[in-house]
A and B are shown apart, each in its own frame.
Chain A
Amino acid sequence: MLSAIGRAFRTPDLRRKLLFTLGIITIFRLGAFIPAPGVNYANVRQCLDPSVTGEQTGIYQLMNLFSGGALLQVSIFALGIMPYITASIIVQLLRVVIPRFQELYEEGAAGQSKLTQYTRYLTIALGLLNATTLVSLVRSGQLFPNCQLPIIPDQSIITTLLVVITLTAGTGLIMWLGELVTEKGIGNGMSLLIFTSIVAAFPTALGAIWTSKGPGTFFVVLAIGLVTTALVIFVEQSQRRVPVQYAKRMIGRRTVGGTSTYIPIKVNMAGVIPVIFASSMLYLPALVAQFNTPTDGSPIPGWVEWINNNLTRGDHPIYMAIYFAMIIFFTYFYVAITFNPEEVSDNMKKYGGFIPGIRAGKPTADYLQYVLSRITLPGALYLGIVALIPLVALVLVNANQNFPFGGTSILIMVGVGLETVKQIDAQLQQRHYEGLLR
């Protein structure tokens, strides 16, 4: 393991890529600590102190997680990658609704780069929207409900506009940084940046547990985290291999095909996206309830109270049940979007491939659909259970909801980590093999 790392740094090409990636990550983390202009940093610090604010409410929890704590610090990278994620999700979903997007997607590289371009425009638009929301929240003092210190002392229009513009530019810059990593570094830039944010929140969260609950709980939490990680890795790596036989064909003077391979169908094909979807959907009712809570002291409407009682607290059974059901739904939904059995079977037919014992064409597509929907069931259940771990732990250990080994963070960490290590490994093997041949 260690020698492999050494070898990675001795390969000039790979070393350049690794250092580049590390450099970008450093810039990204540095930016998370620079306060946006007009923000009084000392006041923010005081408001962030848990002894002043008490338990933080859950609405901004996920966003804060994805920005590595930058959101609540109102720094220049406060919005993090969330706008880009939301934009990508929206563009992906629009493929189902707008035929033009589906056409572009099927066009291949050219069409897809156009889709990426749409995603980028949408990101900036969403960034502008999010920045405005954040600034208005800060100005009305709703970001820290228990803290009365002014975050932005200067309330003039110009300062407000300036902050909004700066935050939007910060979102754009993050997007560009991520793309640079994808292009010149190693791994997928966006996911690596999310990974960085989540990992960066770890030491603080663990330290908080150590100081508030003592070493006993700390080690229990650590053990649970390690076991969960092992389980997640196990499930992420498992796949069903559907055998495919390719017929031998003569093209010119060469024989092509005649090989047998397999289509890997992962147990969890959707990744963490269903979890992200479900949690962002579940924040909506809480947000609606917050906007509809009367401020003038008149009685709270019944439905708002019901939402406040049942849907805003993570440890409520109704919340958990809805969360679980939503994750299962979104898993099936997302798998249906990303893996199209008819397309796969068409492609196989074109190149003379078939699954042994099953006729090409529609029967193959039906068979793939059958295998897919059967294997997605355990995948969906697994996702739901993993996502519920932090909520259950909240009840059991009586810890903060921001449980560091929570489902979403572990899923993202393992997913991104495995992928990046695989890519480094692939590059390394390429080098090594080449070196042996010469």
Chain B
Amino acid sequence: MEVLTIILQILLGITSLLLTLLILMHKGRGGGLSDMFGGGMSSGLASSGVAERNLNRFTIILGLTWGIVIIALGLIMRLTSVGDS
């Protein structure tokens, strides 16, 4: 169990860093604060090239992995703490 936890923790660290990097690589879409809370309508030209689409796919996969790893870690923690008490 402990080996699995360590592996998962390392995986979590790597995926977190990668996820942050990938998200920063996206082009910003939100127009910032000015069109929040009732600004004008802003519909930017949606130019999703191949690169952007691949980036999206990678980000989704990485995000899913990230979520699953976190849930797995949480489950392991809960199971072990139940076993202790």
Contact = CB atoms under 8 A, between A and B. Distances in A.
A182 B33 CA distance: 13
A325 interface: no
B83 to A, nearest CB: 14
The size bracket of the interface on A is 35 or more
B46 to A, nearest CB: 6
B36 interface: yes
Interface string A354-368: 000000000000000
Contacts, number: 128
A299 B69 CA distance: 48
Interface residues of B, number: 39
A169 B30 contact: no
A116 B30 contact: yes
A37 B20 contact: no
A165 B13 contact: yes
B32 A189 contact: no
Given A35-B74, A190-B36, A169 B28 contact: no
A230 to B, nearest CB: 17
A319 B31 CA distance: 34
A409 to B, nearest CB: 13
A196 interface: no
A83 interface: no
A34 B33 contact: no
A166 B32 contact: no
Most chain A CB atoms below 10 A, which of B34, B36, B66, B77:
B36
Given A116-B28, A119-B28, A172 B71 contact: no
Most chain A CB atoms below 10 A, which of B19, B28, B78:
B28
Contact of A116 (B12, B31, B41): B31
B31 to A, nearest CB: 7
B30 A188 contact: yes
Contacts of A273: 33, 37
Contacts of B31: 112, 116, 182, 188
B61 interface: no
A288 interface: no
A92 B74 contact: no
Given A88-B32, A120-B24, A169 B74 contact: no
Nearest to B6: A158
A395 B69 CA distance: 47
A91 interface: yes
Contacts of A161: 13
Interface string B28-67: 1111111111110110101000000000000100010011
A199 interface: no
A345 interface: no
B33 A169 contact: no
A416 interface: yes
Contact of A189 (B9, B30, B41): B30
A92 B34 CA distance: 8
B74 A34 contact: yes
Contacts of B15: 169
21 contacts: A34-B67, A35-B74, A37-B9, A38-B73, A76-B70, A112-B31, A120-B24, A158-B9, A165-B16, A165-B17, A172-B24, A176-B23, A176-B26, A176-B59, A188-B31, A188-B35, A188-B36, A189-B29, A190-B30, A190-B36, A423-B41
Q: Which 7 A-B pairs have the closest CB atoms?
A: A116-B28, A88-B33, A271-B37, A169-B16, A179-B29, A172-B23, A165-B16
Interface of B: 9, 12-13, 15-17, 19-20, 23-24, 26-39, 41-42, 44, 46, 59, 63, 66-67, 70-71, 73-74, 77-78, 81
